Every structure is written in C-alpha cells, then in structure tokens.
Copies of this chain bind each other. A is one copy, B any other.
Amino acid sequence: MATTQTRRRADAERNIAAILDAALAVFTEEPQSSMAAIARAAGVGRVTLYAHFASREVLLEAVLDRTIAEAGVIIAEAELAKGSAVEALRRLLRTSWHVLDQHRKLFDLAQRELGSVQLRQRHREVVDHVEGLLARGQQEGVIRADLPISWLVTTVYSLLHAAAEDVNSGQLKAEEAADVLEATLLPALRS
C-alpha cells in the first residue's frame, strides 16, 4: 500500500515537472496557447493537467514562481555580501539581466495577464536581494541615503523590466542591455 502511494506521488511529481517545463516553453513561444496545447506539449491528459492546475492563471503563476525561485538561487550564487557594495551591485545587475533576458517573453505575458502589481509581489524573493545589497551600500556610504530605500529598489526593478520591454520591442539590443542598465543605474543610486 505504501509502495503504491509512493509510486503515485512520484508519478504526480513527474507530471507536475513535465507540465511546468512544457508550460514555460509554450507560454514563451505561443503566449496565447490554450490549456489543451499545454497538456499536449507536456504529454499528459487534460484531466491530469486540471487536477494539478485548476486554471491557466494558476499554471502561469506556478511557472512564474518557479522561474523567480530559480533566479533567486542564481542571484544568491553571485555572493552579494562579498566585495564592495558597488562591485556587488554590478554583479547583481548583470546576473539579474542575464536571467531576465532568458524569460523576457514570460514576463511580458505575466505582466499582461497578472498585472504589474502582482508581478512585483511575486518577485519578493529576488527583490529582497536587491534591498539587502542597497542597505549594505547605504551603511558603507556608497549608495545614496537621501531617498527611501523602497524607491531605490523600485528604480532597479523598473529599469530592468523596462530594458526587457525595449528588447522585446526591438528598441534595445539584448547584448547591450547589461551595459546600458549599469550606466544608467549606478549614477542614479550612488551617493
């Protein structure tokens, strides 16, 4: 009995992973795709898909949360506590842009379907890294302390996502975005 339950749980986990992988690919390539198309791409039936994700919105939120959690891990690996806060900020901007660049289309879809307020709330884990680093920079006297730190975080978050939109619309080259972001944000943030 326990064996059957274990097997069922393993099956469910495999299905969920396959659905999230397929949904990420489908949302990125064909944002308007239906749940039926996602089920096909994941190799599961529609009943299985809906058993795990009750709606397209729930599925989009799950894909987004997994992507942001992965971004959080990659940003943590940039070791923001090491070196000067300005150097760490440069690493953070490059790492964040690199991750965001891979998921530009997903974020565009999420912005439209979930709204920018919810999108920002779901970035909490990533945004906390930015806030922690800026607070360290303020203590070290290299990041400006004359503006609310929440606004400095908004500035970083907004311009990163604005760069992704400009790349999506063809106004900015993806390979130039990291340099452009650093050149814009450092003078805005330094004391």
Which residues on A are within 8 Å of B, measured CB to CB? 108, 111-112, 115-117, 120, 146-148, 150-151, 154-155, 157-159, 161-163, 165-166, 168-169, 171-172, 180, 183-185, 187-188, 190
Contacts and interface: CB of A to CB of B under 8 A. Distances in A.
For the residues of A in contact with B, the DSSP-based class is: helix
Contact of A115 (B111, B120, B180): B111
How many copies of this protein are present in the complex?
A: 2
Given A150-B171, A155-B184, 20 more contacts: A112-B116, A116-B116, A116-B165, A117-B168, A117-B169, A147-B180, A147-B183, A147-B184, A148-B172, A150-B166, A151-B171, A151-B184, A154-B162, A154-B163, A154-B172, A155-B159, A158-B158, A158-B161, A158-B162, A187-B187
